[in-house]
Structure 1
Amino acid sequence: METIFGLDLPTWWFLVVGGVFTGYAILDGFDLGAGALHLFFKKEESRRIALNAIGPVWDGNEVWLVIGGGALFAGFPVVYATVFSAFYELFMLFLVLLIFRAISIEFRSKEPMAWWRQLWDVSYSVSSIMLALSLGLVLGNIIQGLPIDDQFIYRGTVGDFFNPFSILMAITTLSLFMMHGAIYLVMKTENRLYAKLTVLVKNTTIFFVLMFALSTVYTLLYLPHMVERFKEVPMMFFFPVLTILAVANITRQITKRKYRFAFFSSAFVTAMLMALVAVGLFPNIVLSTIDPQFHIDIHNGSSTDKSLKIMLTFAVIGVPLVGLYTGFVFWTFRGKVKLDETSY
């Protein structure tokens, strides 16, 4: 099997897919978090400012989800087929929620009536909350494992998705995004809205720390397979250590009101949590709860080496370009939000 810098091609694609989905979690995470907090703002001006804080970037952030889906299909078609078949109903709901979130942002300011704007405000907030919960639900089931048979076919029901761990992960994901979004909004606002958001930042951080602790304890007690890799390779222990230090740094920076550093720490925590999942699962991607022999790993679920090598070339070129574009947009629209005639 061909290797690059000591790693085989399926391992490289595992890193690529994980990296792209991590980018999506960081970028669209604060968008969804801002949406989840939207109804906490009572004044029309405050809601417009909150919308315009994410206005220039929210649709670009969703590009990372599209890239992630494409990368998964290119690198691990068996995983793509199994996961999308298993979560078919949930993914259809996810797409509907994405549509409603988008049209809520775009339609809200098209009419001046209060009921019209309130309608789309509720739609925007509810869809953002449901999207965050859906992502957590999927992640929780992937971590815990799915009833996959020897043909990699899902043998469960929709009701099986709603188990204690997946629900816990759904709420934890929502709490992470709410904290991430609150920190982003406080960087983009001033005056009374800024003061209100400083309180929301503290409250959402407490919410996340509590859910993070609960999900960690549950994982250690009931999902031993997620800690096996850390026992086998003690050097991997630095991942959870860095995660805990980053969480502590968020609270430290918030106390000092250094919200830019808190935001970077929040993004880093998101990346580290994704890394912890990746380390815990590797080399598997989808675990079978029917029989460990039915696990889908980076080898039996991947494309051919030739396909992986060709697509890796495109990924090496394309992903950095998207990253540069994303950075350019954030740099262009840096600073506090100012409303004008072009605003939402």
Structure 2
Amino acid sequence: MDLATFWFMLIAVLWTGYFVLEGFDFGVAMLMEKVGKGDRGRRTALNTIGPVWDGNEVWLLTAGGAMFAAFPEWYATLFSGFYFPLLLILLALIVRAVAIEYRGKIDDDTWRRRWDWIIMGSAWVPAILWGVAFANIVRGVPIDETFTYTGGFFNLLSPYALLGGATTLALFLSHGAIFLSLKTNGVVRERSEAVARQMAPIALTIAGVFAVWTQLMYSAVWWTWIPVAVAALGLATAVVAGRLGRYGYAFTGNAVAIAFAVVLLYGSLYPNVMPSSTDPAFSLTVENASSTDYTLTVMTWVALILTPVVLVYQGWTYWVFRRRLSAENIPEHSSLKFLKK
């Protein structure tokens, strides 16, 4: 295996980690009102991701940085051609971070309520647009001989791309509901379990259609039927386990489905990194979009040294904050007590 292919696979792993971990962050935020039904309930839901949401975004930063360093042509074409949707995602992530930090700064119900709606809205935007973006990457977009995107915004809104957005939305909603079922007690847990039982079959249906469409239309290799089958098995496990009240198995199944959906997308792409719908000869590939061997060698050593450290640290964080939360354990406006001292 050459280094360019290795980094193509490593970038797929980084995106997998991001979607599996940030996926339930988005899901929890989108479901705050549905499962919270009051300030304490919403705070309970938000507190389940409070210690980890910013750490989960490290996977996005690392994936973007790896693309920039390992495949600069891919990075340049992608971020210039998808400028508007990626800008919307970036703004949503920034606004979400501000909203999480600011919602408890003033002891006012209206203040907190407005920030809660901003948190929810800023989760819906990336949950949909990430699916649209990756579906377009797999489908192919207009790229000329200079590797420049020549289409417009509406080129990105094909039926396949919109189905991709619906797929990530459904998967993240299901992921978030199952996560809340594992991390909360009381009324919030009961509502989360109800949502999880509703969303898991919907996610299985939508993701199944998207996966089969991807395999039949955009994959040139037979082996990508394997991740299709594994992802379907994972979602089926989430459905059955949710019905039986085994949400640990349901969460694992949903996470496996998200991971193998990424495997399907990247497996369908290779050896391309961004196909051209104008002319296949203009496609960006692992070979013509990569950096020099020296750059990739240095990056590989850095990744081999630092990646285990990041994994251990993040795993420790999840272990420390592993206990369930309930609305009864959260006093009124507890975040303000610290500010008054």
TM category (shorter chain) comes to over 0.9
How far did residue 217 of structure 1 move? Answer: 4.3
What pairs up with 1:183-222 in 2 under 5 angstroms? 183-220=178-215
Q: 1:220 Cα shift?
A: 4.9
Given that residues 183 and 324 in structure 2 are in contact (C-alpha distance below 8 angstroms), is that contact kept between their aligned partners in structure 1?
yes
Alpha-carbon shift at residue 342 of structure 1 (Å): 5.7
Residues 13-58 of structure 1 deviation map (CA, whole Å, 9 limit, x = unaligned)? 0111111111001111100111111121312111010010000000
1:83 aligned partner: 78
Amino acid at match of 1:92: L
Secondary structure class of the residue paired with 2:107: coil
Equivalents in 2 of 1:316, 1:275: separation in Å? 21
- Matches for 1:262-281 after TM superposition, within 5 Å: 262-281=250-269
Instruction: Give, in angstroms, the shift of residue 321 of structure 1.
Output: 1.6
- Equivalent-residue separation in structure 2 for 1:245 and 1:195 (angstroms): 25
For 2:199 and 2:103, locate their aligned partners in 1 and report how far apart those are by CA, in whole Å.
Answer: 26
1:339 Cα deviation from its structure 2 partner: 2.7
Amino acid at match of 1:266: N
Distance 2:301 2:232 in 1: 35
Q: Which amino acid aligns with 1:125?
A: M
Partner SS, residue 109 of structure 1: coil
Structure 2 partner of 1:102: 97
Write the deviation string for residues 278-305 of structure 1: whole angstroms up to 9, x where unpaired: 1111111100000000111110000011
Report the equivalent of 2:138: 143
Instruction: Look up the equivalent residue of 2:314 and give its one-letter code.
Output: T
Structure 1 residue 274: deviation in Å? Answer: 0.2
CA deviation after TM superposition for structure 1 residue 113, in Å: 1.6
- Closer, same or farther in 2 for the Cα pair 1:306/1:92, shift >3 Å? same
| Aligned mate of 2:29, from 35, 56, 60 | 35
Matches within 5 A, 1:241-252: 241-252=229-240
> SS at 1:312's partner residue?
helix
Distance 1:342 1:139 in 2: 40
Structure 2 counterpart of 1:58: 53
Mapped partners of 2:134, 2:257: distance in 1: 16
SS of the aligned residue for 2:142 comes to: coil
Instruction: Report how many residues are paired.
Output: 331
Residue 219 of structure 1 and its aligned partner are, at CA, apart by 3.1
Q: Does 1:282 align with 2:270?
A: yes
The range that moved more, 237-246 or 189-198, is: 237-246
TM-score, normalised relative to structure 2: 0.93
Residue aligning to 2:284:
296
Mapped contact 1:35–1:125 kept (Cα < 8 A): yes
Aligned counterpart, 2:177: 182
Deviation per CA, 1:284-337, whole angstroms, max 9, x where unpaired?
110000000011111000001111111111111222221111101100100112
Does the 8 Å contact 1:249/1:262 carry over to 2?
A: yes
**Could you tell me how far apart the structure 1 residues matched to 2:250 and 2:145 are?**
46
- Conserved 8 A contact 1:20-1:67: yes
Letter aligned with residue 290 of structure 2: S
> What is the alpha-carbon distance in structure 1 between the residues aligned to residue 215 and residue 74 of structure 2?
26
Structure-2 separation of matches of 1:78 and 1:339 = 50
Answer whether contact 1:52 1:343 (CA < 8 A) is retained. Answer: no
Residue 247 (structure 1) shift: 1.5
Task: Give yes or no for contact 2:131–2:161 (8 Å, CA) kept in 1.
Answer: yes
Shift of 1:172: 0.8
Higher mean alpha-carbon deviation, 241-250 vs 292-301, is at: 241-250
- CA RMSD, Structure 1 to Structure 2 (Å): 1.5
Percentage of pairs with the same residue: 37
SS at 2:221's partner residue? helix
Matched, 1:17 2:6: no
Q: Deviation per CA, 1:166-223, whole angstroms, max 9, x where unpaired?
A: 11111110110010111111111111111111101011112212211332343355x2
**Structure 2: tracts of 5 or more residues without a match:** 337-341
1:229 and 2:221 are equivalent in the alignment: yes
Distance 1:19 1:311 in 2: 15
Quote the Cα distance in structure 1 between the aligned partners of 2:82 and 2:313: 31
Deviations 1:255-280, CA, capped at 9 Å, x for gaps:
22111121111111111000011111
**What is the rounded CA distance, in whole Å, between the counterparts of 2:67 and 2:279 in structure 1?**
24
Unaligned 5+ segments in structure 1 are 1-6
1:325 is matched with which residue? 313
Deviation at 1:253, TM superposition (A): 1.4
In 1, the alpha carbon distance for the partners of 2:335 and 2:110 equals: 20
State the match for 2:339 in structure 1.
Answer: none
Aligned pairs for 1:122-137 (under 5 A) are 122-137=117-132
